[in-house]
């Protein structure tokens, strides 16, 4: 026996070591399937602790030397560039003026409809200091971790688009966080196509590309369409840019294969933003323009009391009057379409079952303003987070429930857009009052016309854990 | 250029100092994690594998080879989000194979090293592919042209790495 061991010692040790590793692997796989979150293994802590200080140091040296070069030496063409930038600023100011009006209008409409929005309330800027070094594990390491307020499952974004989610951030690794990129094959992001509003799940592949799954093959998806986050995964706020559709082909199992090019360059990441706090609050008009569409409508329309007792009553009165009137096209700003067009997106609640363009599989928090130009702009704008601002308050309009409004509501929004251009001075109700929030109190509901609960064919909307399942639409 | 068959007595066995044994693999793992972020093409290289082969062929001790490969692989696994052991098993096999072959063959010349690196790169990828598919159920695609190309690229870089390792190895 001893001679056998001596003769085949190397082979026996090899088999023993391999067996031990396979056993360990099997245990890890089983645990990973049983539990949602496995504790960080000591070997990972050691490896990260050994490698990341070097990476941090090297990143610092690279950034510093790059900064010195770019800020002090390489200043060729700065004058010409400055001139061009000034011209761009002038053009952008004009664009901004138009977009501010649109955004104000969208806010007023959402307030009118009692929607809730998700705001990226707080972000933390972090630097990418390392990766896994493996094509099959697309993770990166950031120089901010648990002790900097970073937690598992936080969204990681850049100004261009989303990057991934925090996979590990715990006390053991301290100031380092591991981020799973969206092109890893184990990642999944709830996604929605910007124009067609088709929803799917974005997954990475082993080759490093990302694909949108679960879109039925009978749908039409044009190449070049923008893909946004749907908010359905509970990690990424709704409306952040993911990328652009680059290829559409027929796949198996009645689904399309949609290849997406990420907006953020995932192979050249240097600085990212970690979304450390997402606020959710009732939409209110901007502080600078304390005028609500309902107030404007109440003033402009005869027969509607100027100061109704409750918000519900006011909204009810406004929408009731609006059903008998056409939108004031003269009051609508040029080039601004009235929101909530009466079409597939906003079917008549009193008519037969609305024909939805596509049944969203994982919709959470879709809104009546979906598909409207203002909503599209507002959603896109949500991803425009400045990488330089660590504390950002970028608005990310997040309607609570996909509502199919009554015709009065739809018409009212068109009127509201016109009213927004006029902006007559209307005193703002006191903050916190039902009128100021635009939400009906129980007492108010008694006095107001009985509201009609409009729940369109969006079963998942009611599953939203952070948003109200239903919204009352006074009629 | 040819691989020379050598008797056990003629084979020279080398050792590495403790600092070299610790810091060279760590440096390889660090560079493997850092360089692809700056130079994306670097993902086709596997520096820890080259270091494993370099150590194993110089030491010519199968036990040392398999333990060195196993440890380097496990450390490499620790930086990924996959279960620990995928690279560990693959590099254990490579470490054992390279050191066993180092006993039988003279792998001091560049040609032999080049061919051996291609061979062990492909072996490494096959073992990794098999374990990832069978044990961990990862979706992976196998492409012979890609593997051969990567093998040649790694073998070319390996010649440089082995030359550097030759400078720090000590004859026993």
In angstroms, the CA B121 to CA B126 distance is 9
- Supply the pLDDT for residue A415: 37
Q: Is the Cβ of B63 closer than 8 Å to some Cβ of chain A?
A: yes
In angstroms, the CA A269 to CA A264 distance is 8
Distance from the Cα of B168 to chain A's closest Cα (Å) equals 22
Residue A319 CA: distances (Å) to CA of A325, A406, A409, A434, A475: 10, 9, 6, 18, 6
What's the domain count of chain B?
1
Q: Is the Cβ of B70 closer than 8 Å to some Cβ of chain A?
A: yes
Q: If you measure CA to CA, which chain B residue comes closest to A49?
A: B79
Which pair of structure tokens corresponds to residue A332? 């609508």
**For residue A351, pLDDT beyond 70:** no
Average per-residue pLDDT for chain B: 87
B100–A25 C-beta distance less than 8 A: no
- Please report residues of A whose CB lies closer than 8 A to that of B26: 50-51
**For residue B9, pLDDT beyond 70:** no
Q: Which residues contact A88 (CB under 8 A, 6 or more apart)?
A: none
Distance from the Cα of B71 to chain A's closest Cα (Å) equals 11
- Please report whether residue B2 resides in a domain: no
- Please report residues of A whose CB lies closer than 8 A to that of B141: 206-207
- Please report residues of B whose CB lies closer than 8 A to that of A136: 80, 82, 132, 138, 140
- Please report residues of A whose CB lies closer than 8 A to that of B40: 267-268
Chain CA centroid to CA A392, Å: 14
Distance from the Cα of A292 to chain B's closest Cα (Å) equals 49
CA atoms within a 13 Å half-sphere pointing along the CA-CB vector of B165: 29
The average pLDDT across A76-82 equals: 84
More confident residue, A23 or A337: A23
Which pair of structure tokens corresponds to residue A73? 């030496």
- Supply the pLDDT for residue A37: 52
- Please report whether residue B100 resides in a domain: yes
> What's phi and psi for A165, nearest 5 deg?
-130, 155
pLDDT digits (tens, 9 = 90+) for A357-389: 443 333 333 333 333 333 333 344 343 333 333
The answer to whether B44 and B153 are in contact (CB under 8 A) is yes
- Please report whether residue B45 resides in a domain: yes
- Please report residues of B whose CB lies closer than 8 A to that of A54: 30, 34
At A202, is the pLDDT very low, low, confident or very high (cuts 50, 70, 90)?
A: very high
- Please report whether residue B7 resides in a domain: no
Whether the pTM exceeds 0.90: the reply is no
Torsion of CA A388, A235, A469, A341, to 10 degrees: 60
DSSP, collapsed to helix, strand or coil, labels residue A352 as coil
Range of the domain at B27: 13-171
- Please report whether residue B81 resides in a domain: yes
- Please report whether residue B140 resides in a domain: yes
- Please report whether residue B40 resides in a domain: yes
- Please report whether residue B5 resides in a domain: no
Residue A277 CA: distances (Å) to CA of A378, A386, A392, A393: 19, 16, 10, 10
- Residue A470, burial from CB neighbour count under 10 angstroms (0-12, 13-18, 19+): middle
**For residue B46, pLDDT beyond 80:** yes
Q: Is the Cβ of B155 closer than 8 Å to some Cβ of chain A?
A: no
pLDDT digits (tens, 9 = 90+) for B111-121: 999 999 999 99
DSSP, collapsed to helix, strand or coil, labels residue A187 as coil
* Distance linking the first and last C-alpha atoms of chain B: 26
Q: Is the ipTM of this complex over 0.85?
A: no
Name A202's bridge partners.
A189, A212
User: Which residue bears the tokens 């979150």?
Assistant: A37
In angstroms, the CA A360 to CA A379 distance is 18
**CATH number of the domain where residue B24 is located:** 1.10.1760
Q: Which residues contact A442 (CB under 8 A, 6 or more apart)?
A: none
Class for the domain spanning A113-282+366-399: mainly beta
Q: If you measure CA to CA, which chain B residue comes closest to A204?
A: B139
Name B7's bridge partners.
none
> In chain A, pLDDT over 70 holds for what percent of residues?
55
> Any idea where the domains of chain A sit in the sequence?
113-282+366-399, 284-362+402-473
């Amino acid at each position: 026996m001893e001679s056998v061991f001596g003769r085949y010692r190397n082979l026996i040790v090899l088999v023993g070591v391999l067996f031990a590793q396979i056993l360990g692997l099997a245990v890890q796989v089983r645990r990973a399937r049983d539990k949602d979150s496995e504790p960080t293994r000591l070997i990972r802590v050691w490896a990260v602790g050994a490698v990341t200080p070097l990476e941090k140091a090297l990143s610092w040296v690279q950034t510093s030397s790059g900064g010195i070069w770019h800020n002090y030496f390489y200043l060729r063409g700065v004058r010409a560039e400055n001139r061009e930038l000034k011209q761009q600023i002038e053009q952008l100011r004009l664009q901004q003026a138009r977009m501010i009006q649109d955004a104000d209008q969208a806010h007023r409409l959402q307030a009118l409809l009692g929607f809730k929005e998700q705001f990226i309330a707080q972000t933390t800027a972090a630097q990418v200091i390392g990766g896994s070094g493996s094509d099959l594990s697309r993770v990166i390491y950031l120089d901010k971790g648990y002790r900097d307020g970073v937690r598992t499952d936080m969204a990681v974004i850049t100004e261009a688009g989303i990057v991934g989610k925090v996979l590990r951030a715990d006390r053991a690794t301290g100031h380092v966080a591991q981020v799973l990129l969206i092109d890893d094959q184990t990642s999944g992001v709830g996604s929605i196509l910007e124009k067609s509003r088709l929803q799917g799940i974005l997954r990475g592949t082993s080759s490093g590309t990302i694909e949108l799954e679960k879109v039925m093959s009978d749908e039409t998806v044009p190449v070049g369409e923008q893909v946004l986050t749907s908010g359905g995964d509970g990690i990424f706020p709704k409306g952040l840019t993911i990328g652009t559709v680059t290829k559409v082909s027929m796949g198996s199992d009645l689904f399309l294969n949609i290849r997406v090019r990420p907006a953020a360059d995932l192979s050249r990441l240097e600085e990212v933003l970690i979304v450390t706090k997402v606020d959710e609050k009732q939409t209110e008009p901007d502080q600078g323009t304390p005028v609500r569409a309902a107030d404007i409508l109440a003033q402009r329309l005869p027969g509607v009391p100027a100061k109704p007792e409750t918000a519900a009553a006011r909204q009810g009165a406004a929408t009731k009057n609006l059903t008998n009137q056409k939108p004031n096209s003269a009051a609508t700003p040029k080039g601004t379409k009235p929101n909530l067009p009466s079409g597939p997106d906003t079917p008549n609640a009193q008519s037969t079952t609305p024909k939805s363009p596509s049944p969203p599989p994982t919709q959470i928090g879709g809104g009546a303003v979906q598909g409207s130009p203002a909503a599209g702009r507002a959603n896109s704008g949500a991803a425009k987070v400045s990488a330089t601002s660590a504390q950002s308050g970028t608005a990310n309009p997040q309607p609570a429930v996909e509502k199919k409004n009554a015709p009065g509501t739809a018409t009212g929004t068109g009127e509201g857009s016109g009213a927004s251009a006029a902006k007559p001075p209307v005193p703002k109700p006191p903050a916190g009052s039902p009128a100021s929030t635009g939400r009906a109190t129980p007492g108010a509901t008694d006095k107001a016309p009985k509201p009609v609960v409009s729940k369109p064919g969006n079963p998942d909307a009611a599953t939203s854990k952070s948003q109200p399942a239903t919204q009352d639409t006074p009629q | 250029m040819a691989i020379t068959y050598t008797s056990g007595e003629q084979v020279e066995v080398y050792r590495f100092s403790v600092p070299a044994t610790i810091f060279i693999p760590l440096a390889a793992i660090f560079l493997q994690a850092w360089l692809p972020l700056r130079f994306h093409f670097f993902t086709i290289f596997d520096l820890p594998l080259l270091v494993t082969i370099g150590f194993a062929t110089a030491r010519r001790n199968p036990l040392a080879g398999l333990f060195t490969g196993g440890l380097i692989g496990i450390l490499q696994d620790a930086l990924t989000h996959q279960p620990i052991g995928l690279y560990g098993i693959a590099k254990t096999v490579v470490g054992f194979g390279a050191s066993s072959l180092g006993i039988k063959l003279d792998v001091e010349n560049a040609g032999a090293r080049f061919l051996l690196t291609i061979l062990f790169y492909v072996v490494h990828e096959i073992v990794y592919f098999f374990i990832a598919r069978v044990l961990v159920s990862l979706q992976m695609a196998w492409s012979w042209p890609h593997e051969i190309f990567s093998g040649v690229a790694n073998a070319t870089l390996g010649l440089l790495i082995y030359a550097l390792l030759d400078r720090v190895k000590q004859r026993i």
